[in-house]
Structure 1
Amino acid sequence: MENKGFTTQLVHADRLLNKPENGAVHQASTNSVLFEYEKIEELVDIFQGKVGGHAYSRQSSPSIDALQNIMTRLEEGVGSLVFATGMAAITTSLLTLLKAGDHIIVSQFVFGNTNSFAGTLERLGISVSMVDVTDVKNVEAAIQDNTRLVFVETIANPVTQVADLKSIGELCEQKSLVYMVDNTMTPPYLFQAKSVGAALVVSSLTKYCAGHGQALGGCVVDTGLFDWTTFPGILDALRALPPQDQALTQIKKKGLRDMGGSLSPTSAHAISVGLETLALRMERCCHNALQLAAYLATHEKVDRVYYPGLAAHPEHKLASQCFRLFGAIMSIDLKPEYDCFAFVNHLQQVLNATHLGDTRTLAIPVAHTIFYEMGAETRKKMGISDNMIRFSIGIEDTDDIIADFKQALEQL
């Protein structure tokens, strides 16, 4: 399968990697919470980690294993864990690997909920420096003696800043820091986070991977690039494990087992099926996004378009070097005299909804909704204006999308 194309591999991944029973082409949704063993010694060995197997579905099940196998292959990793949501993947990973007294560096442009969680870490005694990650010099300047990890997103939501991904990866390797990359906006068809040195890759599977707005999920993949024997946050009890297993085992035991952010088997199944069309959907929605961005950039009622595919974007060169395509998230600022609420309400086929990566095009005014709680000062630091509207571009026919935007702008 290694020599086959991306979509060919994905379409056949479930049946070839997981070998479902009775000739099925998808792993069945295994809804059993418990797993019986003929001899109690077998269950004991699973609890003690001497053999593989399932004890309780909060930690693992055949459905979960099937999706994890696919995500590990997609991100070219050594192992992965899936969670109930993308935020569960992020919070669980950070809470279980870090401890009071540690310091981490986080992009100042991260998604609102991730930004909010950084405040939670600080209340637990983990210090956080929020920096502009479009330039590696800002990350380097923030490193302290107790810095353990650097966290960035590939393309920020909603202002679409692109991190200096390769340079930050090289810096993390030099300083022996864990490089954690949120790859939600540029799933593996667009970008391989391992190629820039990411040690851990997190994603909201809810978005482009599932693709149809019908399942929540999250994932963390260990790429095998970081030597966990050098990481002080690994528990002594896990040091006997092979280095590549230490971090994921700790996240699984202290996160999934103790915190319980488990993905349901039905959601795992839905995400696996959705993944098969990932490349096809990304090609279409990224094409639509680029065409729409070019149209809006020349419109007299639009003040600014935020999309990495435009040559005027500050990180267009970085995006061109890293990504196959420029993604399908964009934002605009209408000129001050126009009401963003009125514009969104004039759109006819675009959905007013808070989500990303759907097959349908979605719109939401940013400052009044998903970034409202952060306050005006933080929004200003992130580049979010009061008139900004974020769009997740879908797979509809390009001409229909542009026509809808055109008629809505004409009504302003």
Structure 2
Amino acid sequence: MKAKGFTTRIVHSDRQQQPEAGAVHQPLHNSVLFEYPDVQGLIDVFQGKSANHAYARSSTPSVVALQNMICDMEGGVSACVFTTGMSAISTCLLSLLKAGDHIIVSHYLFGNTNSFMQQLEQYGIDVDFVDVTDAANVQEKVKANTRIVFTETIANPVTQVADIEGINQICKQNKILFIADTTMTPAYLFDAKSYGVDLIVGSLTKYFGGHGNALGGWVTDTGNFDWQDYPNIADCYKKADTNLWGITQIKKKGLRDMGGSIASEACHLLSVGAETLALRLDKICANALNLAAFFRSHPKVAKVYYPGLPSHPQHQRAADYFKYFGGLMSIDLVEGTDCIQFLNDLQLVINSTHLGDNRTLAIPVAPTIYYEMGLARRQEMGISENMIRLSIGIEDLDDLIADFEQALAKV
């Protein structure tokens, strides 16, 4: 029986791949090497004629099981997993771009991704940062050598929502590869494939795993893009199914050559964590929506950044795109208040730089994760100097409100 439900498919994913001894989870395969009594089998792996394993840097049964789970979840044709989300993003782009290419990226990218995009310019790749909330800004920057448009669905920390539909139309008209980081809106919240995204990338460390105990990243090819239209595919990877040309190059020139290989233990922890993804997001998103309303009505909170509020500039777009509005929000306290004191007074909420955890997390944005950007760049991105980013967890709502209430009372 082929299950249709989101959670049912995840819970039974490992088991339906028939691991040995009747296990319901894929066992951890910690062997670096794989034996071939008939050496022709090893030769076939190296020549791409066999999907078996040769060396753990490229693949293991544990890795393949996680990739299959992700690919099924997102309706893709193939997926590749990495040691971190940043490894997935950087490897993907370095595998597909070359000197002289042009890429258009979101002006609101997360700090580390933003920093990496600036590094691309050192490799002779032209990068334009644009406001992706309006696809017209993307259209203005399209050139003959534009290869990729890269955006996040919901930006961190100001929560701008990209014009996915408009960007998709531009990319399809110009045969440009459309890559979206859906870390903040996993497959349960957003069907990226149906909105035209070609490659889905992001961090498995966040909502996918959810428990703050394993790092991981991924790339999924949705099958939307015709790789015959992409000029940077090496001839040696133009074999068999054209749908696999791109992901094959990412796996070979990226994962294999750059070495961002995920460990079997992390694969196991992430796949088990993913089993409750939908259940966790139901609670997280409900908590976030209620907390956004609480903060909006509190006299010591000047502004709330959350797509679920009708006052958010892209509220209707978020309502159209996503099942729920996500678990990420930011707040500004009223002028003259001390956000550091407020954070120190929190007793239940954890001061941490992570996102997408079961626990609610808080961090002052300007002096930490966006410190390197500098004041001018922060202002361009809409980040205030006293902004607090919150990643909402699965705790009981009354307990969260009580903690924020007591801390705000002391400000």
Task: Give me the TM-score of the superposition, normalised by structure 1.
Answer: 0.99
Correspondence for 2:107: 108
Does structure 2 conserve the Cα–Cα contact (< 8 Å) formed by 1:170 and 1:196?
A: no
Correspondence for 1:207: 206
Residue pairs, 1:35-184, within 5 angstroms: 35-184=34-183
Alignment gaps of 5+ in structure 1: none
- Offset of residue 239 of structure 1: 1.9
Q: Given residue 8 of structure 1, which amino acid in structure 2 is its aligned partner?
A: T
Q: Using the alignment, how far apart are the partners of 2:262 and 2:240 within structure 1?
A: 25
Correspondence for 2:12: 12
Q: Which range moves more in the overlay, 45-54 or 68-77?
A: 45-54
Q: Using the alignment, how far apart are the partners of 2:185 and 2:239 within structure 1?
A: 35
CA spacing shift, 1:361–1:80, aligned 2, 3 Å = same
Q: Given residue 365 of structure 1, which amino acid in structure 2 is its aligned partner?
A: P
- Offset of residue 283 of structure 1: 0.3
Q: Secondary structure at the match of 2:32?
A: coil
Q: Using the alignment, how far apart are the partners of 1:377 and 1:175 within structure 2?
A: 33
- Offset of residue 335 of structure 1: 1.0
- Offset of residue 326 of structure 1: 0.2
Q: Using the alignment, how far apart are the partners of 1:2 and 1:406 within structure 2?
A: 47
- Offset of residue 189 of structure 1: 0.4
Q: Given residue 272 of structure 1, which amino acid in structure 2 is its aligned partner?
A: S
Q: Using the alignment, how far apart are the partners of 2:2 and 2:399 within structure 1?
A: 38
Correspondence for 1:366: 365
Q: Using the alignment, how far apart are the partners of 1:310 and 1:86 within structure 2?
A: 29
Residue pairs, 1:249-398, within 5 angstroms: 249-398=248-397
Q: Given residue 340 of structure 1, which amino acid in structure 2 is its aligned partner?
A: C
Cα deviation, 1:340-392, whole Å, max 9, x if unaligned, reads: 10110111100011100100000000000001011111111111111000000
Does structure 2 conserve the Cα–Cα contact (< 8 Å) formed by 1:288 and 1:393?
A: yes
Q: Secondary structure at the match of 1:391?
A: strand
- Offset of residue 3 of structure 1: 5.0
Q: Using the alignment, how far apart are the partners of 2:349 and 2:119 within structure 1?
A: 35
Alignment gaps of 5+ in structure 2: none
Q: Secondary structure at the match of 1:159?
A: coil
Q: Using the alignment, how far apart are the partners of 1:3 and 1:84 within structure 2?
A: 29
Task: Give me the TM-score of the superposition, normalised by structure 2.
Answer: 0.99
Fraction of identical pairs, as percent: 59
Q: Using the alignment, how far apart are the partners of 2:328 and 2:306 within structure 1?
A: 7
- Offset of residue 210 of structure 1: 0.3
Q: Secondary structure at the match of 2:12?
A: helix
Q: Secondary structure at the match of 1:137?
A: helix
Q: Secondary structure at the match of 2:103?
A: strand
Correspondence for 1:229: 228
Does structure 2 conserve the Cα–Cα contact (< 8 Å) formed by 1:285 and 1:394?
A: yes
Q: Secondary structure at the match of 1:129?
A: strand
Q: Using the alignment, how far apart are the partners of 1:375 and 1:2 within structure 2?
A: 52
Q: Given residue 346 of structure 2, which amino acid in structure 1 is its aligned partner?
A: L
Q: Using the alignment, how far apart are the partners of 2:241 and 2:409 within structure 1?
A: 62
Correspondence for 1:246: 245
Q: Secondary structure at the match of 1:141?
A: helix
RMSD of aligned residue pairs (Cα, Å) = 0.8
CA spacing shift, 1:5–1:240, aligned 2, 3 Å = closer
- Offset of residue 240 of structure 1: 2.8
What is the count of residue pairs matched by the alignment? 411
Q: Using the alignment, how far apart are the partners of 1:4 and 1:81 within structure 2?
A: 23
Q: Secondary structure at the match of 1:330?
A: strand
Cα deviation, 1:274-318, whole Å, max 9, x if unaligned, reads: 000000000000000000000000111111000000000000011
Q: Using the alignment, how far apart are the partners of 1:10 and 1:238 within structure 2?
A: 31
Q: Secondary structure at the match of 1:370?
A: coil
Q: Using the alignment, how far apart are the partners of 2:5 and 2:61 within structure 1?
A: 26
Correspondence for 1:189: 188
Q: Given residue 287 of structure 2, which amino acid in structure 1 is its aligned partner?
A: N
Q: Given residue 266 of structure 1, which amino acid in structure 2 is its aligned partner?
A: E
Q: Secondary structure at the match of 2:53?
A: coil
Q: Runs (4+) of structure 1 moved beyond 4 Å?
A: none
- Offset of residue 400 of structure 1: 0.5
Q: Given residue 340 of structure 2, which amino acid in structure 1 is its aligned partner?
A: F
Q: Using the alignment, how far apart are the partners of 1:2 and 1:333 within structure 2?
A: 47
Q: Which range moves more in the overlay, 217-226 or 39-48?
A: 39-48
Does structure 2 conserve the Cα–Cα contact (< 8 Å) formed by 1:7 and 1:276?
A: yes
- Offset of residue 2 of structure 1: 4.8
Cα deviation, 1:48-102, whole Å, max 9, x if unaligned, reads: 1111200000000000000000000011000000000000000000001000000
